[in-house]
Amino acid sequence: MPTRRRVPLLLILPTVALLLAALGYPVGWQLVTSFQKFGLLQQFGQPPEWIGLGNYAALVTDPNLWAVILRSLAFCFVCAFSTVVIGGLVALLMRRVPAPLRILLQIAMLVAWAMPVVATMTVWVWLVDWRRGFLNWFLVRLGVDAAGHNWLVEPLSFFAIAAIIVIWMSVPFVALSIFAGLTQVSPEILEAGQMDGATGWQRVRHIMLPLIAPVVSIVLLLQIIWDLRVFTQIRLLQDAGGFPNETHLLGTYIYQLGTGAGDFGMASAVSVFMLALTVAISWYYVRSLMKEEEA
């Protein structure tokens, strides 16, 4: 192999080795654990029983798991696509407003995005609290009979609130990323489109979007991955008044199997399945990005 081609490989070798060491052990441990059975005896120090594909067979035939999977996919795609759409609109807004207002908006979004999840959820739980929350108080002032209404009891309203929270926490990253891509669009190209009679929406659709498509694809892929494994928001909302059995997503379902029920074998099997599902969902986008890179 020529020296010029060997040097880049040698330079990235330490990073690849560190990545494999950091990720290889947890993934390998989960894979081995998924072939074992954990029960009451294992809580008293007995070694787990090797059952091969038994956990995966139980996983495939478990109707509760498939309900959780469908629920997680629906929640993931609704949140991811809504976040990208809203973030894109905010990015276009930042492009049009004066510089002082744009800087103020960027600072506000950075602060909201950098806020710890638990601290943010403390505020949101207070807002929707059925006893002393701001939402019920505000609706009562508007004449709506919402006094004492628990928004977290019904699965539909639970996931509506969860989606609002997840989208609100993700929009700053998407908006700033897309805005960074928009700054690279040449003003001359937009001016030429305007001179040809293109409207504002046509310039966005036929000029801006194709030019920033790689950025949009990356942020959409990241949002799909992040929203598929969302955990903290759902868990804290469940603790605030939701019913876990009706509001589990994959993250909280794995937590319940492992920490709650002590069935680490099944929890690991679901984790491996979740990893495979994430790779399957993101493979199309990764392949598209690789083709664009080669082109």
Q: Look at residue 212 and tell me if it is in a domain.
A: yes
24 located within any domain = no
Sequence-distant (≥ 6) Cβ neighbours of residue 30 within 8 angstroms: 268, 271, 272
Q: Is residue 59 part of a domain?
A: no
User: Tokens at residue 244, please?
Assistant: 């876990």
CATH number at residue 239: 1.10.3720.10
What pLDDT digit, counting tens, does each position of 174-190 carry? 999 999 888 887 777 77
pLDDT digits (tens, 9 = 90+) for 31-55: 888 888 876 666 666 777 788 888 8
What does the pLDDT look like over 53-78, one tens digit per residue?
888 888 888 888 889 989 999 999 99
Q: What's the total number of domains in the chain?
A: 1
| pLDDT band, very low/low/confident/very high, at 246 (cuts 50, 70, 90) | confident
Assess contact for 231 and 255: CB atoms under 8 A: yes
Most confident of 36-45, 193-202, 218-227: 218-227
Q: Which domain holds residue 167?
A: 67-294
Residue 116 lies in a domain: yes
Residue 128 lies in a domain: yes
Residues 6+ apart with CB under 8 A from 231: 249, 251, 252, 255
- The torsion angles phi and psi of 62, rounded to 5 degrees, stand at -90, 110
**Burial of 115 (C-beta count, 10 Å sphere; 0-12/13-18/19+):** middle
Instruction: Give the Cα separation of 93 and 79 in Å (integer).
Output: 21
